[in-house]
Amino acid sequence: MAQSTQEILEGLAEIVNEETGIDTASVELDKSFTDDLDIDSLSMMTIVVNAEEKFNVRIPDDEVKNLKTVRDAVDFIAAAQG
C-alpha cells in the first residue's frame, strides 16, 4: 500500500536522524540533503539503503544523485510504491 507524503517524510526523517543525529523536525521537504542538512555521500548511501528497506522500494545508484532535496526523495519513494 502506498504511503502518504507525510508518512514517507516522517519515516525518512527517522532514518536521517538515526544516521546523522539531525533532529527529525529539521528534515523538511524543501531542505537540501547536502546544503541544508550537511549530509555527506557516505551517509546518504546509508540513508538510501535504509529507506529501501523501510519503504520496500528500489532506489538505483544512478538515481541517488538526483535526490538533492528531501522532497525529491519523498516523491521518488511515493512513485516507486505506486
> Residues 68, 29: contact at Cβ < 8 Å?
no
Give the whole-angstrom CA distance, residue 21 versus residue 9.
16
Residues known to be catalytic: 40
Helix (H) or strand (E) holding 15: helix 5-20
